[in-house]
Structure 1
């Protein structure tokens, strides 16, 4: 009995280590909403904000892409086209809609809405791919959407109906487009590999964001206070590049299912970081809504496959 316990100890430690890595990835990724709110205080718009984020992220992902290209088989023409489309939908359009919405809603509500992405994957699969949805999955959707609506109505009472509705709709669109990315990337991930796909797609997204800036804004808007550059670097390194690496490492160590459940810490961390850094209030309604969303996503994660 003692031998069995001692032999399972290293495996247990390895799992806990992977769990910590996945949790840190979720926290760092969720913190992008906090950093974005801080940048908005310098009267920077969403187009400029996302440009700086991707501009500072691009060198890291470019190095990753070059390294992957040297050790992997060449891509087919069809795979290259799919990667470009995925980069435009999953990281460019989704991120842009997210940062647009953050101008109008709290960081806590933004994270709750984005956390509904798995439910959008489920709904799209049900409507368009005709996949069966179980009672447990419908219950999970009902509970999680109920929690989001609760927090949404609470924020409307505090911040005004028009702005909250617009911001909520934009972030909801962000979650929806990212769900499309997840569905479309499934087969490509198996062929290309997760690390390679992310590196290539992020490079595509970065170029798209930079081109968008020069189409929509004068080059002079690249001149900003040094605080904007510093926060944008934090946004790029600690809220974009680092979470990608940590999440992939977490999936490698403990599996996608456990890593997904570890990601449930995201909305909670955003709620408390918002209170600590941005002085956003934490109310009983927000905590209750967050608990409902987390419960719904937990139920969804417990589905047997």
Structure 2
């Protein structure tokens, strides 16, 4: 069956969104070259993206899906804003202090398997044999890539890997738990609300842990913060949402395998990061495993 124009358009938008999302880790590592801490980089990401999400929230505030929204729904939105985009982003940015951007993306790519495990644990959804084999292959790939990096870079890799794993777990918890809220609010409104909550959390975190002096950084930090906010957060979030709408979440999950590959390429170009042959083998195993999980979910 010949794919429709909208399906092809959805794939193109999805691929662009995935590549832009993948650039985040590379730009964060570039910002760290200017002796800035993780919370400050995260602050600039949220500070520059905050106005966009406020405008979206205002524009879509009166749009209704004819579903009754109760007070508890807003409490859950606040909860998932804290877990899914504040804690997850914070763990990610801290982890990037200690490990390569390419390895970060490989570990983060585990989140679909964690979603499946959460659904099994809390929602009693069955896991097929094919999914079990794919999950095992994925984690074998992670072990190969991770332990080889430990041998090269030392024990700091453990700490970095731990924080990135926390990022994957919190993001998976957000995906598993927030699905029932999205139909109530709509994609645009829900995304804007959770991002506003996460931005406020980051502002509070920065105010508590750092001196509020936003004008004392090199200009490159502000530029990279702006790029992370606009080109690695706001724009891809809309591209991905549109892509999922056009081609379905199952199809999008398959093309998401481009993420680790694009990060490896970008990290090699802009950070001069090189993965060993063994790490590339591990990355390939992770990509194949996640793709098989996604295909099995589609079936």
Tell me the secondary structure at the aligned position of residue 42 of structure 1: coil
Note the C-alpha offset of 1:286. Answer: 2.2
Whether the 8 Å contact between 2:253 and 2:291 is mirrored in structure 1 is: no
Separation of aligned partners in 2, 1:221 and 1:236: 16
Alignment partner of 1:41 is 2:33: yes
For 1:282, the equivalent position in structure 2 comes to 275
CA contact (8 A) 2:10 2:246 kept: yes
Find out whether 1:202 has 2:195 as its counterpart: yes
Secondary structure at 1:187 match in 2 = coil
User: 2:95 matched to which residue of 1?
Assistant: 101
Quote the Cα distance in structure 1 between the aligned partners of 2:141 and 2:55. 41
Q: CA deviation at 1:221?
A: 5.4
Give the structure 2 partner of residue 149 of structure 1: 143
Alpha-carbon distance in 2 for matches of 1:96, 1:256? 26
Contact 2:42 2:93 (8 Å CA) reproduced? yes
User: Which structure has more helix as a fraction of its residues?
Assistant: 1
- Assess if the C-alpha contact under 8 Å between 2:254 and 2:295 holds in 1: no
Query: Segments of 4+ in structure 1 off by > 4 A?
Result: none
Counterpart CA distance in 1 for 2:4 and 2:184 is: 31
Contact 1:25 1:243 in 2 (8 A): yes
Q: How much has 1:71 moved relative to structure 2?
A: 2.5
Match of 2:81 in 1: 87
Gaps of 5+ in 1: none
Task: Return the TM-score normalized by structure 2.
Answer: 0.95
Alignment partner of 1:171 is 2:164? yes
Q: Which runs of 5+ in 2 are unaligned?
A: none
Match in the other structure for 1:249? 242
Give the Cα separation in 2 of the matches to 1:142 and 1:209: 35
In the alignment, which of 107, 118, 131 is matched to residue 125 of structure 2? 131
Aligned length: 296
Which of 291, 294, 298 does residue 287 from structure 2 map onto? 294
Counterparts of 1:286 and 1:57, CA distance in 2: 34
Which of 48, 54, 79 is equivalent to 2:46? 54
- Separation in 1 of the partners of 2:137 and 2:120? 18
In the other structure, the counterpart of 1:115 is 109
What TM-score comes out, normalization by structure 1 length?
0.93
Q: Distance in 2 between matches of 1:70 and 1:192?
A: 10
Q: CA deviation at 1:134?
A: 1.0
2:175 pairs with 1:182: yes
Encode CA deviations 1:136-189: one digit per residue, 9 max, x unaligned.
11111111111111110111111102x100000000001001111111101101
In structure 1, how many angstroms separate the alpha carbons of the residues matched to 2:269 and 2:83? 33
